[in-house]
Amino acid sequence: MLSVVIPVLNESQCIRRTLDRLSAQDAVDEIVVVDNGSTDGTRDILGAYALTNPKVTVVDEPVRGVARARNTGFDRARGEFIARTDADTIVDSDWAEVIRRHFTAHPETAALTGITTYFDSPVGFFLEFGYRLQARRGRLGGRVGNMHGPNMAIRATAWKQVRDATATRPDIVDDLDLALCLTKAGLAIEQLTTMRARTSARRRRTSPAKWWRFQQSGLRTITNQGYTVLPYHRLIIVGAWATHTAQWPIYRFWDFERRRFTLHPGRERLYPLTSSDRAPSAGEP
């Protein structure tokens, strides 16, 4: 049995599309949507959707935070395999089948992550080109040390093994934290080039200053799990920040809904949830 968990916060504009793609896949047995305190009508949409689709279950996690919502969903999931994606992500039509098939054929694999590109970016072809270049050089696929939240899966047995070691602090990166917990437990994570999804690039509108703080949270995640931050870790975050900063002027004037440039693109979408997105009373250990 395969369960799919989707943490959700104020995603009324895109959640139906994501649910439509997942519920149409025969390999998906259950979809657990965790509402993390939406105030834009998302909860009403989810309730109505669940009434007409028996695969969908809606649960609430009042304490804000991606890790909190993820944990609630993973704990509630009934499947032998638990996949995770985001509300603004469109998985490929065979996504669930790829996950089930690989887990079944490779019992030694504890978790999976795939290839994620953008569906609404004016410069998304650069990311796709980068993946093609890496594939040509044989650098995609196989054992890895990290996972990407919108495109990942884990065995229920592996989740139970590492669950208590995961952090729910607001200043860590949830998918990296989970990957480090799996690695410490000696559990294998594999990247599949056939496990594909397309997500929104809207977080690319985050200002360089805020993006730098997010990158710093990656180093904090590493040390929180007892690992030593090495020079190449710092080099990676500097490179990620520089790449983001180079693209930011483009996304600053890009309308993700209409797919066109505009002088009034709307509010930026922070990545991930930051303190400004959280309820003031939501304390997380």
d(CA 52, CA 243): 43
Render pLDDT for 95-131 as a digit per residue (tens, 0 to 9).
999 999 999 999 999 999 999 999 999 999 999 999 9
- Residue 37, φ and ψ in degrees, nearest 5: 100, 40
Render pLDDT for 57-81 as a digit per residue (tens, 0 to 9).
999 999 999 999 999 999 999 999 9
Residue 279 banded pLDDT, cuts 50, 70, 90: very low
Average of per-residue pLDDT across 7-19: 96
Q: Would you state the pLDDT for residue 280?
A: 28
Q: Would you state the pLDDT for residue 170?
A: 87
Percent of the chain with pLDDT over 70: 93
Per DSSP, what are the bridge partners of residue 60? 35
Q: Would you state the pLDDT for residue 56?
A: 98
From the list 103, 87, 77, 94, the residue with the least C-alpha distance to 27 is 94
- pTM here is 0.92
Q: Kind of pairing, strands 81-84 and 56-60?
A: unpaired
Render pLDDT for 245-255 as a digit per residue (tens, 0 to 9).
999 999 999 99
d(CA 94, CA 21): 10
Question: Which CATH architecture describes the domain 2-201?
Answer: Alpha-Beta Complex (3.90)
Residue 219 banded pLDDT, cuts 50, 70, 90: very high
* Contact (Cβ atoms closer than 8 angstroms) between residue 95 and residue 197: yes
* Contact (Cβ atoms closer than 8 angstroms) between residue 9 and residue 37: yes
Average of per-residue pLDDT across 35-56: 96
Domain boundaries, the chain: 2-201, 204-277
